[in-house]
């Protein structure tokens, strides 16, 4: 069941969705080389990965530097197929990353 963070209910879910979103974004970028919006999305997803590897907690500054959710709303809203799938993952990732809840908080947001 989707809560405040969509399909993300734990740090493990976050890392899974981050990997999935990064894979989709890279594929879309390959299909549209030079598309600056997708390049920005890939760059931000890679930063999120770097800032959370090995159990590291992102700083407040890092958490507020990411805006893939806003980019998804402005640039991908209404798109279909993989573009829509990516947008949904970006919304969830952005919200989760900004709040950086514990697993208990994230799981408790479902309902």
Residue 36, pLDDT score: 92
Q: How confident is the model at residue 12 (pLDDT cuts 50, 70, 90)?
A: very high
Q: What is the DSSP string of 88-109?
A: HHHHHHHHHHHH---HHHHHHT
Residue 2, pLDDT score: 59
Q: Is the pLDDT of residue 4 over 90?
A: no
pLDDT digits (tens, 9 = 90+) for 34-89: 889 999 999 999 999 999 999 999 999 999 999 998 888 888 877 888 999 999 99
Residue 107, pLDDT score: 87
| Residue 67 DSSP class | -
CB 29 within 8 A of CB 39: yes
* HEC sequence for 21-74: HHHHHHHHHHHCCCCHHHHHHHHHHHHHHHHHHHHCCCCHHHHHHCCHHHHHHH
Residue 111, pLDDT score: 47
Q: Is the pLDDT of residue 1 over 70?
A: no
Write down the domain spans for the chain.
Answer: 11-98
Residues 6+ apart with CB under 8 A from 54: none
Residue 72, pLDDT score: 87
d(CA 8, CA 106): 7
């Amino acid at each position: 069941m989707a809560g405040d963070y969509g399909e993300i209910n734990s740090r493990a879910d976050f890392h899974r969705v981050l990997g999935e979103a990064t894979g989709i974004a890279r594929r879309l970028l390959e299909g549209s080389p030079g598309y600056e919006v997708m390049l920005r999305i890939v760059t931000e997803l890679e930063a999120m990965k770097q800032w959370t590897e090995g159990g590291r907690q992102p700083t407040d500054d890092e958490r507020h530097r990411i805006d893939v959710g806003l980019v998804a709303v402005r640039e991908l809203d209404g798109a279909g197929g993989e573009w829509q799938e990516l947008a949904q993952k970006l919304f969830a990732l952005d919200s989760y990353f900004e709040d950086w809840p514990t697993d208990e908080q994230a799981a408790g947001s479902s309902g």
